[in-house]
Amino acid sequence: MPSGGNEKGKAPRLHEVEVSVFGTGFGESIVVHLGLDRWIVIDSCKNPNSKRPVALEYLNQIGVNIPERVLLVVATHWDDDHIGGLAEVFTFAEKAVFACPATVNYDEFKQILATVTGTRHLPGGSGADEMFEIMKELGKRGSRYPTPKLAVVHKDLLEICDTLPVRVQALSPSDADIVSAIERLRRVPQLAEGPPRLRLPRFESNDASVVISIQFGQRELILLGADLEERGLLAVGWQAVVEGWPSGRGKHSVFKVAHHGSSNGHLDAAWDQLLKESPWAIVTSFSFGKINLPTKTDCQRISDRTKRGMITSHPSRSRYKDRMPAIRRTIDEVARSAYVVRAKEGHVRLRRDLETTSDWICERFGSAIPIDPALIASL
């Protein structure tokens, strides 16, 4: 029998694979058990209460020897909501390889990163802080892992050939994605004078985001969509991923939905050609400023595709109302609108025993809920 049963602190069995998706309402992190006590961490976010990376807290809770058993740490891109605490994760994972988009190897990225050093005063840090600290940690490791493994289309980030073979492969960025990302970096002012840059630049589309496919043996595939967007062009985004996927490789049964379920991360062909019918689909919610994802339309679109949709927390926020009339009047005078965004940590965990023919077992912890008619009606 597979482990689980809503026992969050119970580790998976040796031949049981696991996909754990964590969301805090702003950040996301993914922890994957590859079998035989081998783990990888993809992206990072912090527990809103303890301020520690959720991946480290979880792996400690289930008794994983992090310095020895975490083999790979991946930054799919540098947005703050995907990288908070990743430097701490990598520092603890002493034997892990670090992988990230190939754009970090270009002069344009290095020049911009140089303008953001020394900015750790920011609350909660930033993607720039994390990348800077990760590069320092790589330097300390000397000849073992002196540079990142650069993720590009069809590159294996990790491959293990033993009694439980595993292949972790990047499906993006494509060559055209990288060219587009570098061109955008070239248009960013370098700030030779003036205050230091506080964050790495955000773009209207995530050209270099790393989509990952993980294959277990010959029969199980999972797809982790990061924040890759669909731009309506054949050589970039999700269309490039679909075009590059060999049909003979099979289809994925688990999907971490891209870009918090938003419409700009969706492509019908990706669901048709990369995913099995009615796959497990996990979404992380996102609330920041005026942005609140996924929307009601997004949730309905996912529900139309699968009845196995899960979300790490309800994608909602409430208008701020202070009990003191004077404070309410002040807020109304200085702001168009004010909302309360509460930290909502949720965890969706899927486990499957590869020694049996059993299906995935899904467990929900914290604020995680199904994407069902009740959720959609409440939006």
Q: Is the pLDDT of residue 205 over 70?
A: no
Q: State the amino acid at position 2 in one-letter form.
A: P
Q: Which two tokens stand for residue 128?
A: 């720039």
Spans of all domains in the chain: 16-378
Average pLDDT value for the chain = 85
Q: What is the mean pLDDT of residues 129-139?
A: 87
Q: Calculate mean pLDDT across residues 72-81.
A: 89
Which letter does DSSP use for residue 84 in this model? T
pLDDT band, very low/low/confident/very high, at 111 (cuts 50, 70, 90): low
Give pTM, 2 decimals: 0.88
* pLDDT of 1: 34
Distance CA 272, CA 210 (A): 20
Query: What is the structure's pLDDT at 327?
Result: 59
pLDDT in tens, 292-316: 899 999 999 999 999 999 999 998 7
Lowest average pLDDT, out of 108-112, 225-229, 285-289, 311-315, goes to 108-112
309 contacts 302 by C-beta, under 8 angstroms: yes
Name the 3-class secondary structure at 4.
coil
For the cut 80, the answer to whether the pLDDT of residue 126 exceeds it is: no
Model confidence over 24-69: pLDDT tens digits? 988 899 999 999 999 999 999 999 889 999 999 999 999 999 999 9
pLDDT at position 203: 47
What secondary structure does DSSP assign to 261-315, as a single string?
Answer: G-GGG--HHHHHHHEEEEEEEEE--EEETTEEES-HHHHHHHHHH-S-EEESS--
Catalogue the E-assigned strands of the chain: 16-23, 28-35, 38-42, 70-74, 97-101, 149-151, 155-160, 166-170, 212-216, 220-224, 252-256, 275-283, 286-288, 291-293, 309-311, 318-319, 339-340, 346-353, 361-366, 369-370
Per-residue confidence at 189, pLDDT binned at 50, 70, 90? low
- pLDDT interval class at 209 (50, 70, 90): very high
Decide: residue 256, CB within 10 A, 0-12 exposed, 13-18 middle, 19+ buried: buried
Asked if 42 and 74 touch (Cβ cutoff 8 Å), the reply is yes
- 81, 312, 343 from 45: Cα distances, Å: 7, 13, 12
CATH class of the domain defined by 16-378: alpha beta
